[in-house]
């Protein structure tokens, strides 16, 4: 699964370049700041296709279908199983019409028993961005403007991830990301071929500070090694 992730690059212009965005595209979310502990129901952004170009869409993590009466189930829809996404009521319409990419540069998982849980930061070995396959929806609260929400698709873990969890986020190549986001795709089911574990040698993981455990904590100190030393 993916229950917490990061985008730690300080330079917003570099993020725009790596995502293939036009200069100033990140202005859509206001002042860009690096994020070290992105948690469910928090505001973030997703990548979409608009008129053949990539664009930024501000969104909140935890997909709410348009027919939602309130936001109470948002935290239960932060991930969608790729195996059943086309048939699950919460996600099936977004799968057909509103596919997106969620940019990140790492995500967290935990290992160990309840009394000695160790946070792990997982990222690409080459340091490039992770492009999570996602879905987005719009819903309108009883009082207020429409709000965009999103979910991250998951698949079975590869052998690297299986040591800590049996699921992992679907990570797309840059080329597959464009196909995934294409709103004109006539056969979305065909896109499920992309929803597979990334190759075993793509990711690496390392233990980080227990500060990650509290969603209120932010900052580069979350990625420091734990005091008891490395587990790997």
Query: Which residues are marked as active site?
Result: 2, 109
Residue linked to tokens 């973030």: 44
Place of tokens 């992770």: 130
Point out which residues pair with 49 in neighbouring strands.
54
Cross-strand partners of 38 = 5
Interacting residues of 187 by C-beta distance below 8 A, sequence separation 6+: none
Which residues on neighbouring strands pair with residue 57, listed in sequence order? 46
CA distance 54 to 23: 11
């Amino acid at each position: 699964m993916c229950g917490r992730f990061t985008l730690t690059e300080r330079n917003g212009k570099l993020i725009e370049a790596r995502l293939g965005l036009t200069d100033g595209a990140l202005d859509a979310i206001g002042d860009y700041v690096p994020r070290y502990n992105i948690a469910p129901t928090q505001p973030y952004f997703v990548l979409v296709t608009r008129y053949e170009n990539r664009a930024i869409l501000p969104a909140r993590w935890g997909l709410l279908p348009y027919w939602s009466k309130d936001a109470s189930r948002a935290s239960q829809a932060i991930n969608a199983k790729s195996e059943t996404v086309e048939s699950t009521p919460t996600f099936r319409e977004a799968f057909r019409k509103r596919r997106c990419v969620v940019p990140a540069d790492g995500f967290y998982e935990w290992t160990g028993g309840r009394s000695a849980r160790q946070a792990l930061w997982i990222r690409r070995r080459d340091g490039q961005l992770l492009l999570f396959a996602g879905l987005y929806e719009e819903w309108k609260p009883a009082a207020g403007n429409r709000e965009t929400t999103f979910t991250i698709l998951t698949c079975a873990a590869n052998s690297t991830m299986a040591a800590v969890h049996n699921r992992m986020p679907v990570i797309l190549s840059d080329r597959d990301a464009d196909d995934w986001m294409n709103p004109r795709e006539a056969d979305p089911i065909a896109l499920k071929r992309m929803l597979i574990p990334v190759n075993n040698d793509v990711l690496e993981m390392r233990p980080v500070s227990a500060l990650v455990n509290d969603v209120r904590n932010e900052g580069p100190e979350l990625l420091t090694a734990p005091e008891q030393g490395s587990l790997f």
